């Protein structure tokens, strides 16, 4: 297909053209999507592939194979691919890249538990490999419910679809949640480890596809002014907030079994903790980075059962009103969690979690890490707050200044990616007065905006064999070890006060008390 005007986004370019554009073109390969007819594929994966193609990072020798239970024709699925890229990636209607990707897309209707359907899958991969010259390279994306992960990997192994031979690779991307507790995570690791080598397993966490998350390492280790103060001597505490304004939406059936703690903390939030707290790796090679992350996760002090009630807070949203302060006469009334579709009317499942964690190593001894995450909060945001220790007040004792505010560094991860630093400056005038000022860096101001689903970097890294942003087996198990004591206590003592925060508020009062007992408070914008 010939290249067309940039407004229509042409087919992938050559490796040389990709290099001129600032990146290495991905390896030639086939992407097999299990659960290809679902929301994840439509809203995230296919738009991410479109964005990779738009940036000339997809190889010309590339094809997509969808596998799902829905009995739809291949041509109908190709039309879905075009529509999804138009609807969720903003592709123009006359998009040659969309047509190219659709023409390179195939579909099989099958059952994840039927061996004969995997025979069809194997035959189709062979046919596509010969047609598109993909060199035998295949990666399988498990965009399915978690209960199918082990069965799919077992079927792939039985059909020899995971066998790597000289000159070609086979890889598997597995979505979260990876297990529902420590025991199930260990079982899943063991089961897929019987089929795959660890180097073939890519446990995905889409939070790590966000630019600011990736920028944490660059910010810390490429700037000589920050790393020297990134320790217990200068930092008072760390806050990590992942707040959502939405409720459980259509996920009530899954969410009522999982809950906020399982859904967010062992993966998303502990990944942010490990990147914030890790020691400098010896290189940016995947295992060098993940070795240091793993050390942090293993160094998090387990919360003793008797401390769970004082160091862990759970909440469930009730009815409330939309708006930044959760009030307003003309604001929308939002239903409580127990009235959401597919949720038990007497549910004890938490939709909010706050924890106080400590890291038992030299760098972070006595520095608490406060984390909170929840649904139906006033604002959608994810941020990491580094609060530094206050400067000594002795110099200002004979001035009108009555207190000094601490310096605060905030890494904004979503929705507006950037970094801000708050510090004190003299207010103009005859008297010595200190005012707080903020220096802001926003990605959009310096680097412009670019459409992204957060999956582009992760898919690309899998295609080039870079596992840096994917979790290793030991990291997954270490994450579950952190939350396991809390899960055990909460299972034994169901919450009696639910719902305990109105929709549109910042969670239950106990979350404020968690920090207030230590003489601290959550950062509020």
C-alpha–C-alpha distance, residues 470 and 242, integer Å: 20
pLDDT band at 6; cut points 50, 70, 90: very low
pTM, 2 dp: 0.89
pLDDT band at 433; cut points 50, 70, 90: low
Hey, is 355 helix, strand or coil?
strand
pLDDT the model gives residue 19: 44
Q: Which residues contact 131 (CB under 8 A, 6 or more apart)?
A: 63
- Whole-angstrom CA distances from 374 to 244, 288, 502 are 6, 32, 12
Q: Which helix (H) or strand (E) holds 441?
A: strand 434-442
pLDDT tens profile 109-152: 999 999 999 999 999 999 999 999 999 999 999 999 899 999 99
pLDDT tens profile 499-512: 999 999 999 999 99
Q: Which helix (H) or strand (E) holds 46?
A: helix 46-54
- Catalytic residue (one of 268, 298, 339, 348): 268
Closest to 485 measured CA to CA, from 303, 255, 276: 303
pLDDT the model gives residue 3: 37
- Residue with the bigger pLDDT between 32 and 178: it is 32
Token pair 């909060």 in the structure block, residue: 377
- Residue with the bigger pLDDT between 18 and 478: it is 478
* Across 62-67, average pLDDT: 97
**What mean pLDDT, rounded, does the chain reach?**
89
pLDDT tens profile 236-266: 999 999 999 999 988 888 899 999 999 999 9
* Across 436-456, average pLDDT: 80
Q: Is 268 a catalytic residue?
A: yes
Q: Is the pLDDT of residue 10 over 60?
A: no
Hey, is 387 helix, strand or coil?
strand
- Residue with the bigger pLDDT between 525 and 84: it is 84
pLDDT the model gives residue 334: 92
Q: Per mean pLDDT, which range of 95-104, 135-144, 216-225, 469-478 is the poorest?
A: 216-225
Hey, is 146 helix, strand or coil?
helix
pLDDT tens profile 417-428: 889 998 777 778
Q: Is the pLDDT of residue 187 over 50?
A: yes
pLDDT the model gives residue 12: 61
pLDDT band at 480; cut points 50, 70, 90: very high
| Range 6-204: architecture per CATH | 3-Layer(aba) Sandwich (3.40)
Closest to 361 measured CA to CA, from 413, 272, 297, 418: 297
Residue range 210-392+466-516, CATH number: 3.30.360.10
The pair of structure tokens assigned to 291 is 């070795």
Question: Could you give the residue range(s) of every CATH 3.30.360.10 domain in the chain?
Answer: 210-392+466-516
* Across 318-343, average pLDDT: 78
Q: Is the pLDDT of residue 16 over 60?
A: no
C-alpha–C-alpha distance, residues 271 and 478, integer Å: 11
pLDDT the model gives residue 5: 34
pLDDT the model gives residue 391: 67
pLDDT band at 4; cut points 50, 70, 90: very low
pLDDT band at 382; cut points 50, 70, 90: very high
Question: Could you give the residue range(s) of every CATH 3.40.50.720 domain in the chain?
Answer: 6-204
pLDDT the model gives residue 22: 52
| Pair 237, 387: CB distance under 8 Å | yes
Hey, is 308 helix, strand or coil?
helix
* Across 466-479, average pLDDT: 94
Closest to 138 measured CA to CA, from 45, 62, 25, 29: 29
Strand ranges of the sheet holding 29-34, from the earlier edge strand across to the other edge: 105-109, 62-68, 29-34, 138-142, 170-174, 201-203
pLDDT the model gives residue 514: 97
pLDDT tens profile 350-378: 999 999 999 999 999 999 999 999 999 99
C-alpha–C-alpha distance, residues 444 and 414, integer Å: 12
Q: Is the pLDDT of residue 449 over 70?
A: no
Q: How many CA atoms lie within 13 A of 123 on its CB side?
A: 7
pLDDT the model gives residue 20: 45
């Amino acid at each position: 297909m010939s290249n067309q005007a940039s407004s229509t986004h042409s087919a992938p370019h050559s490796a040389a053209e990709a290099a001129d554009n600032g990146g290495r073109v991905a390896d030639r390969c086939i992407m097999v999507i299990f659960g290809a007819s679902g929301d994840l594929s439509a809203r995230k994966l296919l738009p991410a592939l479109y964005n990779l193609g738009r940036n000339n990072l997809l190889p010309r020798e590339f094809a997509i194979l969808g596998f799902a239970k829905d009995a739809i024709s291949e041509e109908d699925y190709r039309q879905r691919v075009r529509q999804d890229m138009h609807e969720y990636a903003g592709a123009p209607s006359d998009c040659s890249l969309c047509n190219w990707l659709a023409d390179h897309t195939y579909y099989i209707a099958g059952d994840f538990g039927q061996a004969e359907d995997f025979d069809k899958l194997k035959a189709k991969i062979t046919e596509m490999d010969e047609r598109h010259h993909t060199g035998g390279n295949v990666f399988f994306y498990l965009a399915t419910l978690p209960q199918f992960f082990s069965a799919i990997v077992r079927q792939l192994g039985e059909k020899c679809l995971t066998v790597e031979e000289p000159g070609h690779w086979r890889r598997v991307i597995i979505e979260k949640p990876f297990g529902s507790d420590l025991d199930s995570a260990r079982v899943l690791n063991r089961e897929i480890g019987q089929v795959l080598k660890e180097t073939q397993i890519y446990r995905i966490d889409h939070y790590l596809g966000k630019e600011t998350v990736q920028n944490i390492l660059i910010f810390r280790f490429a700037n000589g002014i920050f790393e020297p103060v990134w320790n217990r001597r200068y930092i008072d505490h760390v806050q990590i907030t992942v707040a959502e304004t939405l409720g459980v939406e259509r996920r009530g059936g899954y969410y009522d079994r999982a809950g906020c703690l399982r859904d967010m903390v062992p993966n998303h939030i502990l990944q942010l903790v490990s990147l914030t707290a890790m020691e400098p790796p010896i290189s940016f090679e995947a295992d060098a980075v993940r070795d240091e992350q793993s050390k942090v996760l293993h160094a998090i002090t387990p919360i003793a059962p008797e401390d769970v009630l004082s160091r862990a807070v759970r909440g469930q949203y009730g009815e409330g009103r939309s708006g930044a302060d959760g009030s307003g006469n003309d604001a929308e009334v939002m239903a409580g969690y127990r009235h959401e579709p597919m949720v038990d009317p007497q549910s004890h499942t938490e939709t909010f979690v706050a924890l106080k964690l400590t890291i038992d190593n030299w760098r972070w001894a006595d520095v608490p890490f406060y984390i909170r995450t929840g649904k139906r909060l006033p604002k959608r945001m994810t941020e990491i707050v580094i609060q530094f220790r206050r400067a000594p007040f002795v110099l200002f004792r004979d001035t009108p200044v009555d207190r000094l505010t601490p310096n605060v560094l905030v890494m904004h991860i979503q929705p507006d990616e950037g970094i801000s630093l708050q510090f004190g400056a003299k207010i103009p005038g005859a008297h010595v007065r200190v005012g707080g000022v903020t220096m802001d860096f926003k990605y959009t101001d310096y680097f412009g905006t670019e459409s992204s689903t957060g999956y582009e970097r992760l898919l690309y890294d899998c295609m080039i064999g870079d596992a840096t942003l994917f979790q290793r087996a030991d990291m997954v198990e270490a994450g579950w070890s952190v939350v396991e004591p809390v899960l055990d206590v909460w299972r034994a003592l169901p919450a009696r006060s639910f719902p305990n925060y109105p929709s549109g508020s910042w969670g239950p009062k106990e979350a404020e008390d968690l920090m207030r007992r230590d003489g601290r408070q959550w950062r509020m914008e």
